[in-house]
Amino acid sequence: MLRTLIETAPTTIVSRAAGWVAGLPVPRVMRSTLWGAMANAMGIDLSEALGEPAEWTTFDQFFTRRLRNDSRPLEAMGQGAMLAPCDGVLADFGRADASLGLSAKGSTGSLATWLGEETLPWRQPHFAVVGVGGGECDRVHSPIAG
């Protein structure tokens, strides 16, 4: 019944409800067991995480956990692999121009809307949309600030 409700409810309502639940505190005595069970069910390798799971106080912190710097070495990726700033499935990619419409979390806008007009002078911009699923780490990782 819950699945039917989630699948038929407007995505905005489902997203806001999930955000509210994600911010609820989890009692310390439940954290290690809960995070371990969720990791096992979703195929998450908690050994990649920075810090201890018992430190994560909310579902949001579980899903946006920081990764150790050595957890995913580039050398192990192999030739032809795509390097992305987050876990997920490649949903779309291609050449970008100022009029390109991109969608994320129910919002659509042009490249200029998302990135700002000052980013448009690129010579050959490309884009990739990575869809994050339940078992993936939702944090965006970047080797540079910004």
Transcribe 34-91 into DSSP letters: HHHHHHHHHT--GGGBSS-GGG--BHHHHHT--B-TTSS-GGGS-TTPPP-SSSSEEE
Q: What is the pLDDT of residue 28?
A: 94
Q: What is the pLDDT of residue 130?
A: 79
* Consecutive H or E run containing 139: none
Tokens of residue 90, six digits: 């490649």
pTM of the model: 0.62
Q: What is the pLDDT of residue 21?
A: 87
Average pLDDT over residues 43-67: 90
- The model's pLDDT over 94-138, given as tens digits with 9 standing for 90+, comes to 877 666 676 766 677 776 777 676 665 655 677 777 777 666 555
Of residues 46 and 104, more confidently modeled: 46
Average pLDDT over residues 35-47: 91
53 pLDDT higher than 80: yes
Q: Which residues contact 145 (CB under 8 A, 6 or more apart)?
A: none
Q: What is the pLDDT of residue 141?
A: 53
Q: What is the pLDDT of residue 57?
A: 96
Average pLDDT over residues 56-70: 88
Average pLDDT, the chain: 77
Of residues 23 and 12, more confidently modeled: 23
